[in-house]
Amino acid sequence: MKHTLLRPDTPSAPLRPLLLPALLLLAAPMALLVDGPISRWCTAYNCPDFLRDLLGVLEPFGNGLGVLVIVAAVHQLDPLRRWGLPRLLACSLGAGLAANVVKMLVVRTRPHQFDFTDGILASFGGWLPLTSAGSAGQSFPSAHTATAVGLAVGLIWLYPHGRRLFAGLAALVACQRVEAGDHFLSDVLCGAATGCLIAAACLKVGLLPRWFDTWERRLGRPAESAPVPNARPTDDREQAGSRAA
């Protein structure tokens, strides 16, 4: 299965990379129907301890420090792909920054400080609070989820064979934000959509991809339009068979 959002060398319709974020944004209003029950269950500490501990370990995949550690690891362990690090940073940290900008446009109380006796719509407050609402009023959207999704998309672009791992890590970060009572389900869906949109803007849509392409060629990107592939090892028997043919 080809992932056209993640492979800039693959021809696709101009708006195809926007399909997934559009679906996530459509799902967010429907998630309001279950925001209350799910977050009430999570904030009552009903989640098993082993699962809570597992999700907590994975939380750094969605924060800025974790992104920098991963980027540093790629820089040291894979010199052939260092040219892709600026775009990887833009996908991940750019997504988190975009989510934080949205937080300053609308107030939403975090689940662990919300009174569930009120309707779920009461979790939303006024418009344009900027920073006056504080952390308690910055539930919407989830910046951790946006960062994790942007990071996952960027890593899949560099390492296509790891797509299931990276996508799974991003999904688990989203689950951790809900389990910890920091966000409602609708918050993480909008955060995931934000991450997809920023990643699409860096990889496929608009002018940024061309700008990154030019910069990456100066940094030593191979002549091919796609990242260096993860070549499958070929054993001696396969080589001998190819020579015999």
Residue 1 lies inside a defined structural domain of this protein: no
Residue-range definition of the domain harbouring residue 133: 17-220
Total length of the chain: 245
Residue 226 lies inside a defined structural domain of this protein: no
Residue 66: closest CA among 158, 151, 155, 153: 151
* pLDDT in the model for residue 11: 43
* pLDDT in the model for residue 186: 98
Radius of gyration of the chain (CA): 20
The burial class, CB within 10 Å (0-12 / 13-18 / 19+), for 70 is middle
- Residue 100: both structure tokens together: 């934080």
Residue, of 204 and 228, whose pLDDT is higher: 204
State whether residue 56 is helix, strand or coil. Answer: helix
| Start-to-end Cα distance in the chain | 29
Cis peptide before 141 (omega within 30 of 0): yes
* pLDDT in the model for residue 224: 62
Residue 9 lies inside a defined structural domain of this protein: no
Residue 107 lies inside a defined structural domain of this protein: yes
How many domains is the chain built from? 1
pLDDT tens readout for residues 194-215: 999 999 999 998 889 999 999 9
Residue 73 lies inside a defined structural domain of this protein: yes
CB atoms inside a 10 Å sphere around CB 30: 11
pLDDT tens readout for residues 153-192: 999 999 999 999 999 999 999 999 999 999 999 999 999 9
Check which CATH number belongs to the domain holding 110 and give it: 1.20.144
- According to DSSP, the residues that pair with 124 across neighbouring strands are 108
Residue 240 lies inside a defined structural domain of this protein: no
Residue 149: closest CA among 180, 181, 183, 191: 191
pLDDT band for position 219 (cuts 50, 70, 90): confident
Q: What is the mean pLDDT of residues 58-77?
A: 96
177 CB-near residues (< 8 Å, 6+ apart): 62, 142, 144, 145, 183, 187, 188, 191
pLDDT band for position 1 (cuts 50, 70, 90): very low
Residue 138 lies inside a defined structural domain of this protein: yes
Query: Does pLDDT of 76 surpass 90?
Result: yes
Query: Does pLDDT of 89 surpass 80?
Result: yes
Q: Which of 15-19, 60-64, 128-132, 228-232 has the lowest mean pLDDT?
A: 228-232
| Upper half-sphere CA count for residue 44 (Cβ side, 13 Å) | 9
Q: What are phi and psi of 36, to 5 degrees?
A: -65, -55
Spatial separation of the C-alpha atoms in residues 127 and 125, rounded to whole Å: 7
Residue 231 lies inside a defined structural domain of this protein: no
pLDDT band for position 225 (cuts 50, 70, 90): very low
